[in-house]
Structures are given as structure tokens and as C-alpha cells.
């Protein structure tokens, strides 16, 4: 009887641990999706403070043509008006959490003016995040244009 009770108790502990991990991962998934949506809103508003809080200092962005931009370059372009977003919207997101690292993959549709040229684009993106001091921060973003 005692062995059976210990076995049941052990199984309950394993299941509760697995449930707690799934619940935590679900919370992380929701938080990361919310950051992506916050990023979109900050693009349209030209809010470099919000963008700066999302990106780590060593953030690197790679566009569909293979051009890279640092955090400072992205923020400068937005702040100066060199790039002005009219629309910016993510959807079809999938989130993969690996402890204190995560990958978000999805589709991004945007219309913006860059250096006087209007760009209307749809891209597949992959954003890589790390958890620093309890906060998710983006370390890298890669986009590929859907033709």
C-alpha cells in the first residue's frame, strides 16, 4: 500500500512540475507576442524609447537584402524621420522558449517611407530574445521578403 501511495505521489509531482513548466512557457509566449505587438506600435509612433527598451545594446537587424543595422542605427533612422512607418503589423507568430532564450517567427506586413521611397512589404521574420533581469529583450532580427 505504501509503495502504491508513494508511486501516486511521485507521479503527481512529475505532472505538476510539467504543468508548471507549460504554464510558465505559456506566460512567456504571451509576453513575447505582446512585445512584438508593442514593437509594431512603437514603429508607427516613432517611439524610440520603447524600441530602445526592447533591443539589447548589441542588437543587430538583418533585412531581406542582407544589410545589417545596429540598435543605434535603427533608433537614429526612426528618430530622424529617415524611416517613417505608416503601418506595421505582425501575425502568424510561433514562439519557442528555451529557458532564458526564445525565438519568435512570424509574418510582418508594413508600409513605410525610407529616404523618400515608399516601401510596401510582407516578410517572414525571426527574432531572437534573451531574458535579462526578468525582462525579455531582442538581440537579433532577421527578415526575408515574401515575393
The total number of structural domains that make up the chain: 1
- Whether 128 and 103 have beta carbons less than 8 Å apart is answered as yes
Per residue in 84-115, pLDDT tens?
999 999 999 999 999 999 999 999 999 999 98
Task: Give the other-Cβ count within 10 Å of 98's Cβ.
Answer: 9
Residue-range definition of the domain harbouring residue 110: 2-145
> Alpha-carbon distance 50 to 39, whole Å?
7
Q: What is the mean pLDDT of residues 71-92?
A: 97
> Alpha-carbon distance 9 to 133, whole Å?
35
Nearest to 52 by CA among 74, 31, 82, 84: 74
Q: Which three cell numbers stand for residue 32?
A: 513575447
CATH of the domain at 107: 3.10.450.50
Per residue in 111-139, pLDDT tens?
999 989 999 999 999 999 999 999 999 99
Amino acid at each position: 500500500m505504501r509503495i502504491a501511495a508513494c508511486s501516486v505521489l511521485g507521479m503527481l509531482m512529475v505532472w505538476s512540475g510539467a504543468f508548471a513548466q507549460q504554464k510558465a512557457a505559456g506566460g512567456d509566449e504571451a509576453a513575447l507576442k505582446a512585445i512584438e505587438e508593442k514593437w509594431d506600435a512603437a514603429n508607427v509612433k516613432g517611439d524610440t524609447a520603447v524600441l530602445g527598451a526592447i533591443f539589447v545594446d548589441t542588437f543587430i537587424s538583418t533585412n531581406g537584402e542582407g544589410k545589417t543595422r545596429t540598435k543605434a542605427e535603427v533608433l537614429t533612422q526612426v528618430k530622424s524621420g529617415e524611416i517613417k512607418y505608416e503601418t506595421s503589423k505582425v501575425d502568424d507568430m510561433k514562439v519557442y522558449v528555451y529557458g532564458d532564450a526564445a525565438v519568435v517567427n512570424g509574418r510582418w506586413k508594413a508600409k513605410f517611407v525610407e529616404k523618400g521611397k515608399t516601401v510596401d512589404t510582407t516578410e517572414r521574420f525571426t527574432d531572437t530574445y534573451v531574458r535579462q533581469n526578468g525582462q525579455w529583450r531582442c538581440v537579433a532580427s532577421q527578415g526575408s521578403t515574401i515575393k
